[in-house]
Amino acid sequence: MATLAPAGPGEAASAALDELSLNFTYGAPGAGNGSLSGAWYRRNQIHLFGVLLAILGNLVISISLNIQKYSHLQLAQQEHPRPYFKSMLWWGGVLLMAVGETGNFAAYGFAPVTLIAPLGCVSVTGSAIISVTFLKDNLRASDLLGMTLAFAGTYLLVNFAPNITQAISARTVQYYLVGWQFLIYVILEILIFCILLYFYTRKGMKHMVILLTLVAILASLTVISVKAVSGMITFSMMDKMQLTYPIFYIMFIIMIASCVFQVKFLNQATKLYNTTRVVPVNHIFFTISAIIAGIIFYQEFLGAAFLTVFIYLFGCFLSFLGVFLVTRNREKEHLQQSYIDFGNIPGKQMLDKIQPDSNSLSYGTLPDGSDSINSQSGEKKEV
């Protein structure tokens, strides 16, 4: 093991390279070959533990979202509904979401980014299953097809993700942080982010693609920093303490800041656009951004075979398609817009479907109310 405090820059670089060569271990010739043999599972026990944490975390998040939804439905049925943040059921959902996100955070310390990030589809499909089972939502044919595709994609992702085990230490993160690949990547991201932010703030362009691209750019930094922080904590627990290095706290600050601004732009997108459109697009953008970040920063596809990469990308495509089918037109089924049809009133000509006015006791007026008043007064005069 290299010493923790090399004398000069040259020795520091050499020590980092030596540590990287020890940190990267490939299970067999043809790394990342996606073999389903028993030897493959024995080599990837740590990865599978990370996958299990991510899947359980996403399932807990699905349960928390449905609990929060159920609490909102209960409050809406009350005669004098109280604020949702005073509901113990709603806070229970928030607590479960925190537990699920903790599981996702820990998963990055045991498995590659390119393996954990696409598993977000489990949260979407799991939420659909729970809502159908417990909230009595309609089960559509597209839901069954989407769940099947998402599960098939998840299976391919788990078996054909990069077969690489990498210990994340502070020196490893420092080495990657000054690599030319990451520097070029960060410069391009900053340029794209500034251009999109200019159109968003100055030109007032609030298209969904612009907002979710801003979210995805920030998400790439979030994934890199989360992997670094979680990996250094795991390394500290299993080997040597890494929390005394300044790079740990730098990555921690980047993680918090990127999460805050990411949530800000995502909330803006959900306010302007339907959730059924935002969720699948955001999942696709986030996953692609995380995969690119893992490939460039952590070099997770180094040495992978072409067939492995192709099947992995095909698994991503299946999961994307499954999420799209599960979320497609789901909210439209629950829209119940009450209206008054004047065609059902005897003696009145059907003019339009007029929404009731919830702020008054009246239920809307005819487009030409003066004519109806004049006709009524004329009838009284004739009588």
Q: Which sequence spans correspond to the domains of the chain?
A: 45-166+306-333, 167-298
Q: Which of 24-28, 308-312, 319-323 has the lowest mean pLDDT?
A: 24-28
Q: Which is nearest to 43 in space by CA: 21, 28, 27?
A: 27
Residue 125 to residue 270: CA distance in whole angstroms: 19
- State yes or no: pLDDT of 205 exceeds 60: yes
Which residues on adjacent β-strands are paired with residue 340? Answer: 354
Of residues 189 and 336, more confidence is placed in 189
Please, which pLDDT band fits residue 71 given cuts at 50, 70 and 90? confident
Give the list of residues 6+ apart from residue 267 with CB closer than 8 angstroms, or none.
none
Alpha carbon separation from 170 to 20, 46, 114, 252, 283 (Å, rounded): 11, 20, 21, 12, 30
User: pLDDT tens-digit profile of 348-367?
Assistant: 554 444 444 444 444 444 44
One DSSP character per residue, 28-74 reads SSSTT----SHHHHHHTHHHHHHHHHHHHHHHHHHHHHHHHHHHHHH
- State yes or no: pLDDT of 1 exceeds 60: no
Please, which pLDDT band fits residue 19 given cuts at 50, 70 and 90? very low
Residue 240 to residue 171: CA distance in whole angstroms: 12
- pLDDT recorded at residue 330: 65
Of residues 5 and 302, more confidence is placed in 302
- pLDDT recorded at residue 172: 92
- In this structure, are residues 322 and 148 in contact, taking their beta carbons and an 8 Å threshold? yes
User: pLDDT tens-digit profile of 155-171?
Assistant: 998 888 877 777 899 99
Helices (H), the chain: 9-23, 38-43, 45-76, 88-107, 113-116, 121-134, 141-160, 170-177, 180-201, 208-238, 246-272, 275-297, 306-327, 369-382
- pLDDT recorded at residue 371: 47
- One-letter identity of residue 314: F
Whole-model pTM: value is 0.73
- State yes or no: pLDDT of 133 exceeds 70: yes
- pLDDT recorded at residue 261: 93
Give the list of residues 6+ apart from residue 28 with CB closer than 8 angstroms, or none.
35, 39, 43
Instruction: Provide Rg for the chain, Cα atoms.
Output: 27
Of residues 268 and 362, more confidence is placed in 268
- State yes or no: pLDDT of 122 exceeds 80: yes
Mean pLDDT (the chain, rounded): 78
Residue 19 to residue 13: CA distance in whole angstroms: 10
Straight-line distance from the first to the last Cα atom of the chain, in angstroms, rounded to the nearest whole number: 108
- Using a 10 angstrom Cβ sphere, with 0-12 exposed, 13-18 middle and 19 or more buried, the burial of residue 250 is middle
The alpha carbon of residue 295 and the mean position of all alpha carbons in its chain are separated, in whole angstroms, by: 19
Q: Which two tokens stand for residue 358?
A: 């919830």
Q: Which of 158-167, 205-214, 278-287, 308-317 has the lowest mean pLDDT?
A: 158-167
- pLDDT recorded at residue 370: 47
- State yes or no: pLDDT of 20 exceeds 60: no
Handedness of CA 231, 234, 238, 240 (dihedral sign): positive
Give me the phi and psi of 354, to 5 degrees please: -105, 130
Residue 266 to residue 215: CA distance in whole angstroms: 6
- pLDDT recorded at residue 372: 45
- State yes or no: pLDDT of 14 exceeds 50: yes
Quote the crossing angle between the two packed helices 208-238 and 246-272, to the nearest 10°: 150
pLDDT above 70 as % of the chain = 74
